[in-house]
Amino acid sequence: MKVGILAGGVGSRLSEETVVKPKPMVEIGGRPILWHIMKIYAQQGFDEFVVALGYKGEYIKKYMVDYARLSPNLTVRTGSGSVEPTDAKAGVVEPSDDWTVKLIDTGQGTGTGGRIKKLIPYMGNETFMMTWGDGVADIDLQKLLRFHRSHGKLATVTTVRPPARFGLIEMEGDRVVRFTEKPQLGEGWINGAFFVLEPGVADYVGDDATMWEKAPMERLAAEGQLMAYRHEGFWQCMDTLRHKQILEDLWESGEAPWKSWA
């Protein structure tokens, strides 16, 4: 099964970094968040990717072309010109991530719906996964897929509890008795991406400017074709520098919830 990733947005709220690179290439722990997302999928058996490019798409192309060469330790064969990652301890070539990545230019001004529609021809006319290039989660993708197949509808969206926008303070009089930044369990569920879709969703997208989160999802819901998979675990998008710092701190702590690989 193929995984579509929308990686063409500008990321204006991260303009300090996205002035020179697309948002999915902003780094967490020295790796683009796009890489983290792909690792989440690949570690659960989904290693065929179709990436929708737009703003500064050449940056992502170069990264993927050079991916094997970005390993800290390299073996260079001057006769053939080959470059391979090397395990410094064993002195042998280590297996790299064996992914298939199709990079599709979907246009600079294309909306999220338009990008999804342009990727569908590359999905093999079968069920596919889809997510944004700026959010991570400790989601069980096989469980998500089983849920999608159980209901037989065109689309499944993963719903999540939003992390607290501000720290939650509980008081007794003027004294703070509790402070937490845990998910706001009293709030409603929101769109956390990590979709499973059928090719037929293309019929719900109008022109290139269509935003997936508006008319297509609203119509799918109205027609009973959109189901929600409730994810109770960790989820975090990277919309702002504050969000980036949250993810960076988790990674540096060695306890990043989305990291399921060694």
Both tokens of residue 261? 């690989």
pLDDT at 68: 66
pLDDT at 74: 75
User: What dihedral angle (degrees, nearest 10) is formed by the CA atoms of 189, 193, 7, 85?
Assistant: 120
Mode of pairing for the β-strands spanning 48-53 and 2-7: parallel
CATH label, 2-65+98-253, candidates 3.40.50.720, 3.30.1540.10, 3.90.550.10, 3.40.50.1980? 3.90.550.10
User: What dihedral angle (degrees, nearest 10) is formed by the CA atoms of 99, 102, 103, 104?
Assistant: -160
CA distance 165 to 184: 9
Domain locations along the chain: 2-65+98-253
Both tokens of residue 147? 């849920």
Decide if 18 contacts 12 (C-beta within 8 A). yes
Residues of the chain with pLDDT under 70: 68, 71-72, 87-96, 163-171, 174, 176-187
pLDDT at 19: 82
